[in-house]
C-alpha cells in the first residue's frame, strides 16, 4: 500500500487541478446567476468608479451581486411575454418528443426486425440526411412550411420540422437497441397468436425503455434548444419560443442582460435536470450510434 | 399471384390511367393558359384605354374644368371602367374623379386627404421611374403600374407629362371581368372514353397477345394525345388572334372618342403609341407576332405530358406495377411501420434538400423568387465562382497582405483550424480530467464530476450568449481580470485572432465534458489487475499509460473524436452568436458563411451551392470515417 502511494501523484496536487478546472467551469454559470439576481439589466457585476482601484475591479469579477433582488425574475413573468414563450417551447418540445418517439420507434422496429427491398437504401438515406447542411434546406423548408402548408408562426409547423430533424438519430438509436433484444420472446408470442402490433406494443416497447428514454431526451432537447429554425418560422413576437425570446433580449441593439440571465436559468433548469437523469444512457447511445455510423 | 397475368387487363388499366393523366394535365394546362391569355387581353385593352385617356387629359391641360369635362365624357362612353381619377402634383390635388367614393363633399377638385398618401406615393413612384428611365436611356422601371383589384379587376396608373415633366397621375380601375371560359369537360370525357372503347374492341379481337396489345394501346394513346393537343393549341391560337383583334378594335374606338374630346390645336393624341407594355414601349403589332415562341413552348409542354403518359402505360402494361404491388403487399407490415417516418422525411428533409440542390444551379436572389427556377438556371456557374476564386489574399500597396475573408478557401482554412484546435483542446482537457478523476481513493470525486459535466448539459446558445457577454470590451468580466493584472482591456472582436480566441474558449468550455465522460467510462472499464501486473514487471507510469491506458481508450475515444469533428465543423450557434464572423467575416466557418450569403446578402443560389459543397465535404469525411471505424473495430 505504501509503495503505491509513493508512485501516485500527491492528492493535493490533483485537487488543485480539479479545483481550478471546476472554477473555470462553474464561473460562467455563477456569473449568469449573479446577473439574474442583481435586479439590473447591466452585464457588469458591479459599477466601477471613474478610476477604479484593484479592489473595485476585484468586486466586479467576484460572482456575487451587490444586492440580491428577484426583480428580474418577477418582471420576466409580468412585464415580458416570457411565460408565453416558455409555454410555446414546452408545447413544441413535448409534441416533438411524442411524435418523434412514435415515428422513430415504428421505423426503427421495421428496420431491425424485417428484411424487405430498399431496407438498406432507407437506412443509409437516414444516415446521409444527417449531413445535409441546415442552411441548404432552410429556404425550401420555409417555402414548404410557410407558403405551401400555411404553417408560418404556428407551433405545428415547428413541431413537424423538429421531428424530422430528430428522426434519423432516433431511428438509428432505436434500431440498434431493438437489434440487441432477443427474438425468442416475440416468436413465442407469435405462436400464441398475438398480432405484430400487439407484440410491438406489449413486448418490444417495454423492453426498449432505456433507448426510448434517450430518444425522448434527444427529441426534447431538439425542440427545447433549437433557435435558427424557430427564428425563421416564428414572425410574431407572441409565437416566439424561449430561445428566440432570450436572444431577443440581448441580440441586435437590445442589452437586457438581466432578463436574459434570469430567463437562461429558467430555461436551463429542466434540460439540465433531464440531462443528469438520463446522462449515462446518452453516452452509451451516442458512442454506439457513431460506431455503427 | 401464380395465375397467368392478363395482358389485356394490364394494358387496359395502363391506357386508362395514361389517358387520365395526359388529358387531365392537358385540360388543366389549357385552363391555365386561357386564364393567362384572358389576363393579358384585359391588361392590353386597359392599357390602350389608359394611354388614350392620358393623351386626352394631357391635351386638356391636366388640371382645370376641361379635364373634368373630358373625364366625365370618357366615363360615360366606357362602361368597362369602374373609376377614373386624375391627380395633379401641383397643389397635390384630385382634379377629376368618377370613383363613387369621391362624391358629395369629397368630390373633385379638392386637395388629397391624409389617408390618400398611398395614391400620392404611387404618383411619386411613377415620376421617379420615368426620370430614371430617361436618364439611363433604358426601360428598367415600369412606367405604368398594374395591380390586381378585387374580383379580377385591374387597377392601373400612368404618369401625366407636361413640358417633359411628370406633373400628375392618371388612375383607372376596370370593372369586374366576366368569369373565365369553363373547362371543356364533355370534350375531355369523350377523348377519355372513346379510345378505351376502341381498345376494348381491339383487345377482344387480339386476345391475350402481348405485343399487338402493346402496339394497339400505344397507338391509341399517341393518337388521342396528338389530337387533343392539336385542338388545344388551336383554341389558344384563336384566343391570341382574338386578343389582337379586340385590342385593335379598342384602339379604333378610343381614336374616335379621343379625337372628339381634344381640341384640334393640341396635337398630343397618337393612337399608334397606345398599345404598349408597362414600360410604355409599343408592342409589336399583330402581324409581327407569328405563332412562334409561345406555341413552341406549348408543344414542349404537351410533349412532356405525353412522355409521362407513356411511362405510365408501360409501367402498368408491362407488369412493373403488378410486381411493385406484389412486393408491397408481401412486405406490407414492414412498409406500414416505415411509411409514417419516411413520409415525414421525404416531405421535410429529402425534398427540401433536392429543392436546395436545384436552387444551387440558379442565380436566385431575394429579388427574383417569383420567377420559376428554369428561368434563372445558370448551370455550374455558382460552383465555378466559389471554387474557382483563389484570390485569398492581395498584396496591399504598402506591402502588407490583405485577406479576402469572403473567399471560400479562407473560410475553409479557418473551419479546419477551428475544428482541429477545438477537438485537440477537448480531447486533451477531457482526457486529463478523466485520468485525474479516475484516481482511486480521491475524495469528492462525484461532486467534481457533476460540476464538470454542467457545460454539456447547458443549451449551447445560452452558453454562447453568456460568453459573448463576458468578452464585452467595457463591462465584460474577462477584461476586468486582465486589468486586475495591470493589462489593457482588449477589443476582442476587432482582430481575427482574438475573435477566434473568444469562440475557441466558448466551444472548449462546452465540449470538454463530452470527452471527459467518454474517457472516464473507458478508463473505469480497464481492470486494475493489469496495472498491478505491469507494476510488478517494473513498468514506469508513462509506460503503463502508453501500453495499457491508451490502447484501451482507443475503441471509445476514436468514435467520440469522429463525431465531435462533425459537431465542431458545423458548430453554427457558437460562431453565429459569439463572434458573428467579426471582424469582417474573418471568423466565419463554412456553415455560418453560407447562412450569411443566404440571409444577409440574399444570394440564395450562391448560398445553396456553398451548402452543397459543405455537404460534399461532410459526405467525403463520412465515407473515410466509415473505413476508419471499421478498421478500429477489427482491432
Asked if A110's CB is within 8 angstroms of B337's CB, the reply is yes
Per-residue pLDDT, B302: 81
**How far apart are the C-alpha atoms of A125 and A129, rounded to whole Å?**
6
pLDDT value of position A265: 92
The pLDDT tens digits of the residues spanning B71-123 come to 888 888 888 888 899 988 888 888 888 888 888 788 878 888 888 888 888 88
Segment B197-219, tens digit of pLDDT: 998 898 888 888 888 888 888 89
CA distance B509 to chain A (A): 7
Asked if residue B242 has pLDDT above 80, the reply is yes
CA distance B119 to chain A (A): 29
Q: What is the pLDDT of residues A143-169, one digit of tens each?
A: 888 888 888 888 999 999 999 988 988
pLDDT digits (tens, 9 = 90+) for A219-236: 898 899 898 889 888 888
CA of B368 vs chain A CAs: smallest distance (Å): 14
pLDDT in tens, B363-382: 888 777 777 777 778 888 89
Q: Does A228 touch chain B (CB under 8 A)?
A: yes
Put simply, whether A210 touches B (Cβ < 8 Å) is no
Alpha carbon distances (Å) from B602 to A236, B362, B363, B608? 22, 13, 11, 11
**Cβ pair A42:B475 closer than 8 A:** yes
ipTM above 0.95, yes or no: no
CB contact under 8 A, A133 and B614: yes
- % of chain A at pLDDT higher than 90: 26
Model pLDDT for residues B281-324, shown as the tens digit of each residue: 777 654 444 445 556 667 777 888 888 888 888 888 887 888 88
Using pLDDT thresholds of 50, 70 and 90, give the confidence band for residue A290.
very low
Angle between helices A119-129 and B604-634 (to 10 degrees): 120
Closest-CA residue to A231 (of B602, B461, B583): B461
Chain B environment of A272 (Cβ under 8 Å)? 454, 457-458
Contacts of B598 in chain A (CB under 8 A): 135, 138-139
The Cα–Cα gap between A229 and A247 comes to: 13
User: Can you spell out the DSSP letters for B343-364?
Assistant: HHHIIIIIHHHHHHHHHTTB--
Q: Which of A102, A106, A133 sits opposite B615 (nearest CB)?
A: A133
Q: Is A238 on the interface with B (CB under 8 A)?
A: no
**A/B interface, count of CB pairs below 8 Å:** 257
Cβ pair A257:B345 closer than 8 A:
no
Does residue A176 sit at the B interface (CB-CB below 8 Å)? Answer: no
pTM: 0.73
Please state, for a pLDDT cut of 70, what percent of chain B lies above it.
95
Report the Cα A94 to chain-centroid distance in Å: 12
**Which of B333, B350, B437 is closest, CB to CB, to A196?**
B333
Write down the residue that cell numbers 412522355 correspond to.
B307
* Cβ neighbours for B190, distance < 8 A, ≥ 6 positions apart: none
Residues A132, B598: C-beta atoms closer than 8 Å: no
Measured between CA atoms, the residue of chain A closest to residue B482 is A57
Instruction: Report the pLDDT value the prediction gives residue B610, as an integer from 0 to 100.
Output: 93
Task: Find the mean pLDDT for residues B572-596.
Answer: 90
Cβ within 8 Å, pair A243-B342: no
Q: Write b or e for each residue in B176-209: b if 16 or more Cβ atoms lie within 10 A of its Cβ, otherwise e.
A: eeeeeeeebeeebeebbeebeebbeebbeebeee
Max Cα–Cα distance, chain A, nearest Å = 85
Instruction: Say if the Cβ atoms of A268 and B458 lie within 8 Å.
Output: yes
Structure confidence by residue, pLDDT tens digits, B317-363: 887 888 888 888 888 888 889 999 999 999 999 999 999 999 999 88
Judging contacts by C-beta atoms under 8 Å, the chain A residues touching residue B573 are 227-228
Residue B350 CB neighbour total at 10 angstroms:
17
- Looking at per-residue pLDDT, the higher value among B477 and B181 belongs to B477
**Closest to B518 (Cβ–Cβ): which among A144, A160, A287?**
A287
A211 vs chain B: nearest CA distance in angstroms?
A: 18
CB contact under 8 A, B484 and A141: no
Amino acid at each position: 500500500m505504501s509503495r503505491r502511494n509513493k508512485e501516485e501523484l500527491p492528492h493535493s496536487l490533483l485537487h488543485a487541478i480539479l479545483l481550478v478546472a471546476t472554477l473555470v467551469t462553474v464561473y460562467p454559470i455563477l456569473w449568469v446567476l449573479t446577473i439574474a439576481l442583481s435586479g439590473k439589466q447591466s452585464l457588469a457585476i458591479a459599477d466601477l468608479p471613474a478610476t477604479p482601484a484593484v479592489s473595485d475591479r476585484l468586486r466586479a469579477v467576484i460572482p456575487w451581486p451587490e444586492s440580491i433582488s428577484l426583480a428580474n425574475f418577477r418582471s420576466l413573468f409580468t412585464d415580458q411575454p416570457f411565460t408565453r414563450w416558455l409555454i410555446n417551447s414546452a408545447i413544441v418540445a413535448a409534441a416533438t418528443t411524442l411524435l418523434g418517439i412514435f415515428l422513430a420507434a415504428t421505423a426503427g422496429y421495421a428496420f431491425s426486425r424485417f428484411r424487405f427491398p430498399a431496407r438498406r437504401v432507407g437506412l443509409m438515406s437516414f444516415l446521409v440526411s444527417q449531413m445535409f447542411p441546415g442552411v441548404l434546406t432552410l429556404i425550401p423548408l420555409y417555402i414548404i412550411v410557410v407558403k405551401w402548408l400555411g404553417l408560418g408562426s404556428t407551433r405545428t409547423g415547428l413541431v413537424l420540422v423538429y421531428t424530422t430533424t430528430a428522426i434519423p438519430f432516433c431511428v438509428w438509436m432505436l434500431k440498434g437497441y431493438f437489434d440487441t433484444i432477443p427474438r425468442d420472446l416475440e416468436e413465442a408470442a407469435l405462436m400464441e397468436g398475438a398480432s405484430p402490433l400487439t407484440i410491438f406494443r406489449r413486448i418490444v416497447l417495454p423492453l426498449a425503455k432505456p433507448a426510448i428514454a434517450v430518444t425522448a431526451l434527444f427529441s426534447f432537447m431538439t425542440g427545447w434548444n433549437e433557435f435558427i429554425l424557430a427564428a425563421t418560422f416564428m414572425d410574431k413576437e407572441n409565437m416566439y419560443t424561449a430561445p428566440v425570446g432570450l436572444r431577443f433580449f440581448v441580440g441586435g441593439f437590445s442589452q437586457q442582460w438581466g432578463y436574459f440571465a434570469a430567463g437562461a436559468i429558467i430555461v436551463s433548469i429542466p434540460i439540465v435536470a433531464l440531462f443528469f437523469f438520463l446522462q449515462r444512457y446518452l453516452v452509451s447511445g451516442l458512442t454506439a450510434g457513431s460506431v455503427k455510423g | 399471384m401464380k395465375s397467368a397475368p392478363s395482358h389485356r387487363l394490364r394494358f387496359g388499366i395502363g391506357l386508362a390511367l395514361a389517358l387520365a393523366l395526359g388529358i387531365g394535365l392537358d385540360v388543366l394546362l389549357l385552363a391555365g393558359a386561357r386564364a393567362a391569355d384572358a389576363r393579358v387581353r384585359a391588361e392590353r385593352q386597359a392599357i390602350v384605354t389608359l394611354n388614350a385617356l392620358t393623351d386626352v387629359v394631357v391635351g386638356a391641360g391636366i388640371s382645370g374644368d376641361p379635364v373634368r369635362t373630358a373625364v366625365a365624357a370618357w366615363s360615360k362612353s366606357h362602361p368597362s371602367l369602374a373609376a377614373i381619377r386624375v391627380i395633379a402634383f401641383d397643389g397635390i390635388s384630385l382634379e377629376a374623379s368618377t370613383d363613387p367614393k369621391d362624391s358629395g363633399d369629397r368630390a373633385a377638385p379638392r386637395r388629397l386627404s391624409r389617408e390618400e398618401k398611398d395614391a400620392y406615393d404611387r404618383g411619386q413612384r411613377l415620376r421617379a421611374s420615368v426620370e430614371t428611365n430617361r436618364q439611363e436611356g433604358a426601360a428598367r422601371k415600369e412606367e405604368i403600374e398594374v395591380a390586381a383589384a378585387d374580383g379580377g379587376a385591374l387597377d392601373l396608373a400612368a404618369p401625366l407629362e407636361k413640358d417633359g415633366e411628370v406633373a400628375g397621375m392618371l388612375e383607372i380601375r376596370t370593372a369586374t371581368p366576366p368569369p373565365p371560359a369553363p373547362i371543356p369537360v364533355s370534350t375531355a370525357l369523350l377523348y377519355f372514353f372513346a379510345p378505351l372503347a376502341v381498345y376494348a374492341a381491339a383487345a377482344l379481337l387480339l386476345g391475350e397477345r402481348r405485343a399487338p396489345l402493346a402496339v394497339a394501346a400505344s397507338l391509341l394513346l399517341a393518337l388521342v394525345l396528338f389530337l387533343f393537343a392539336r385542338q388545344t393549341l388551336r383554341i389558344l391560337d384563336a384566343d391570341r388572334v382574338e386578343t389582337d383583334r379586340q385590342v385593335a378594335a379598342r384602339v379604333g374606338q378610343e381614336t374616335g372618342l379621343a379625337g372628339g374630346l381634344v381640341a384640334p390645336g393640341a396635337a398630343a393624341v397618337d393612337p399608334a403609341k397606345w398599345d404598349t407594355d408597362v414600360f410604355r414601349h409599343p408592342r409589336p403589332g399583330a402581324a409581327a407576332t407569328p405563332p412562334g415562341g409561345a406555341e413552341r413552348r406549348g408543344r414542349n409542354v404537351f410533349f412532356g405530358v405525353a412522355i409521362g403518359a407513356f411511362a405510365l402505360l408501360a409501367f402498368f402494361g408491362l407488369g412493373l406495377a403488378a410486381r411493385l404491388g406484389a412486393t408491397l403487399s408481401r412486405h406490407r407490415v414492414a412498409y406500414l411501420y416505415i411509411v409514417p417516418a419516411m413520409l415525414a422525411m421525404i416531405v421535410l428533409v429529402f425534398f427540401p434538400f433536392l429543392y436546395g440542390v436545384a436552387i444551387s444551379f440558379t442565380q436566385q436572389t431575394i429579388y427574383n423568387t417569383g420567377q420559376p427556377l428554369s428561368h434563372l438556371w445558370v448551370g455550374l456557374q455558382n460552383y465555378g465562382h466559389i471554387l474557382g476564386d483563389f484570390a485569398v489574399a492581395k498584396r496591399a500597396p504598402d506591402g502588407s497582405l490583405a485577406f479576402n475573408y469572403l473567399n471560400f478557401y479562407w473560410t475553409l482554412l479557418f473551419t479546419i483550424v477551428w475544428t482541429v484546435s477545438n477537438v485537440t483542446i477537448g480531447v486533451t482537457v477531457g482526457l486529463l480530467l478523466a485520468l485525474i478523476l479516475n484516481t482511486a481513493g480521491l475524495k469528492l470525486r462525484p461532486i467534481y464530476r457533476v460540476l464538470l459535466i454542467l457545460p454539456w448539459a447547458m443549451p449551447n446558445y445560452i452558453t454562447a450568449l453568456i460568453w459573448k457577454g463576458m468578452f464585452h470590451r467595457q463591462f465584460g468580466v474577462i477584461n476586468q481580470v486582465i486589468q486586475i493584472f495591470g493589462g489593457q482591456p482588449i477589443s476582442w472582436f476587432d482582430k481575427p485572432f482574438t475573435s477566434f480566441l473568444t469562440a475557441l474558449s466558448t466551444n472548449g468550455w462546452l465540449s470538454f465534458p463530452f470527452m471527459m465522460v467518454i474517457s472516464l467510462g473507458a478508463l473505469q472499464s480497464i481492470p486494475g489487475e493489469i496495472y498491478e501486473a505491469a507494476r510488478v514487471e517494473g513498468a514506469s507510469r508513462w509506460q503503463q499509460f502508453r501500453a495499457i491506458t491508451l490502447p484501451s481508450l482507443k475503441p471509445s475515444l476514436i468514435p467520440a473524436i469522429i463525431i465531435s469533428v462533425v459537431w465542431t465543423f458545423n458548430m453554427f450557434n457558437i460562431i453565429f452568436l459569439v463572434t458573428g464572423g467579426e471582424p469582417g467575416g474573418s471568423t466565419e466557418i463554412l456553415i455560418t458563411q453560407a447562412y450569411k450569403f443566404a440571409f444577409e446578402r440574399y444570394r440564395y443560389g450562391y448560398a445553396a451551392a456553398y451548402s452543397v459543397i459543405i455537404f460534399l465535404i461532410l459526405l467525403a469525411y463520412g465515407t473515410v470515417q466509415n473505413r476508419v471505424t471499421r478498421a478500429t473495430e477489427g482491432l
